[in-house]
């Protein structure tokens, strides 16, 4: 786990001063395509779509104003949609750099979708932030974090398009699982970059080693979270709290679980009124 020293200074901007447009443009100019959304996400969606599912285009991200391509956005939903059935929503790639969220959603579509499609309506958005996926970034090209943008005043097209699409089904959502990961690059790049962008100082360098959950402060549903932790324990280790009894700077609600006020923070997990909500986190750099 990478732990920068407290005086780690990001290379863009002036310490203590939020970025302006010049700094954001400098940051954008340094980003490079490192993998293919088309090859790793779109093509597998078409190749491995179950018979019980349909592929839906729910919008296009248009960043041509900054010389970037169009990105068509896709969702997978139950082909035989049953009115009155509860809806299970799965989202991945809100933070595009978090590979396992995207690939986990694709794996679920390929291997597990059909197991549940006759019991509930399923809706999966596997890669909400394709530019972030291609450039391995937490932010979008405007240096905006999509996972702080799920609200009425959203500055993220990624979040706005996802919300608009999900809103068509939102009255039916019973379960929402948002797939994420916490990587060493959080400390080597993204936390320092955020502090520089905002003109602040980062104090939390904790990267939990293992799987953990972030539930909603307003509807924690402790039994639901516990059931997931117990199931995951059968296949991998659960992250232990740090010396302060915290994960990512938050006190444990129970083993492997912390609470966040998701709607207040503009998190993806707060965009519906689903009763059962959780964000999964895993540490892909673990030596265990």
Measured between alpha carbons, how far is residue 111 from residues 48, 99, 114, 180, 185 in Å? 9, 18, 8, 19, 29
Q: Give phi and psi for 154, each to the nearest 5.
A: -60, 135
Give the helix ranges, DSSP H, for 30-150: 37, 43-47, 99-111, 113-116, 130-135
CA–CA separation, 126 and 121 (whole Å): 16
Statement: the pTM of the whole predicted model exceeds 0.85 = yes
The residues spanned by each domain of the chain are 21-281
Cβ 53 vs Cβ 108: under 8 Å: no
Structure tokens at 178: 């948002």
Q: Which helix H or strand E contains 162, and what residues bound it?
A: helix 157-167
Residue 85 pairs with which residues in a beta bridge? Answer: none
Q: Which helix H or strand E contains 212, and what residues bound it?
A: strand 212-216
**How many C-beta neighbours within 10 Å does residue 111 have?**
11
Find tokens 């979708």 and name the residue. 113
Residues with Cβ within 8 Å of residue 284, at least 6 apart in sequence: 99, 100, 181, 183
CATH classification (class only), 21-281? alpha beta
Structure tokens at 85: 């059935």
Per-residue pLDDT of the chain (288 residues), as tens digits, is 545 545 578 999 999 999 999 999 999 999 999 999 999 999 999 999 999 999 999 999 999 999 999 999 999 999 999 988 999 999 999 999 999 999 999 999 999 999 999 999 999 999 999 999 999 999 999 999 999 999 999 999 999 999 999 999 877 899 999 999 999 999 999 999 999 999 999 988 999 999 999 999 999 999 999 999 999 999 999 999 999 999 999 999 999 999 999 999 999 999 999 999 999 999 998 988
Q: Give phi and psi for 248, each to the nearest 5.
A: 45, 40
């Amino acid at each position: 786990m990478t732990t920068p020293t407290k005086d780690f200074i990001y290379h863009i901007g002036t310490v203590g001063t939020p970025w302006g447009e010049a700094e954001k443009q400098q940051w954008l100019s340094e980003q490079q395509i490192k993998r293919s959304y088309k090859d790793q996400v779109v093509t597998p969606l078409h190749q491995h779509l179950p018979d019980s599912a349909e592929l839906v285009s729910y919008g296009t991200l248009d960043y041509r104003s900054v010389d970037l391509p169009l990105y068509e956005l896709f969702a997978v939903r139950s082909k035989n949609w049953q009115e009155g059935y509860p809806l299970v929503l799965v989202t991945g790639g809100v933070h595009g750099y978090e590979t396992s969220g995207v690939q986990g959603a694709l794996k679920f579509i390929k291997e597990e979708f059909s197991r549940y499609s006759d019991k509930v309506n399923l809706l999966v958005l596997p890669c909400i932030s394709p530019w972030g996926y291609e450039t391995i970034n937490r932010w979008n090209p405007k240096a905006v974090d999509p996972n702080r943008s799920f609200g009425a005043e959203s500055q993220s097209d990624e979040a706005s398009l996802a919300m608009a699409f999900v809103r068509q089904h939102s009255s039916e959502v019973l379960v929402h699982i948002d797939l994420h990961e916490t990587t060493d690059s959080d400390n080597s790049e993204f936390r320092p970059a955020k502090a520089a962008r905002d003109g602040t100082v980062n104090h939390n360098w904790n990267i939990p080693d293992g799987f953990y959950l972030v539930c909603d402060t307003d509807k924690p549903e402790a039994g639901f979270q516990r059931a997931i932790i117990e199931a995951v324990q059968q296949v991998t280790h659960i992250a232990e709290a740090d010396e302060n009894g915290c994960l990512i700077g938050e006190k444990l609600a129970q083993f492997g679980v912390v609470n966040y006020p998701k709607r207040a923070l503009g998190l993806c997990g707060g965009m519906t009124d689903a009763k059962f909500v959780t964000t999964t986190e895993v540490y892909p750099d673990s030596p265990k």
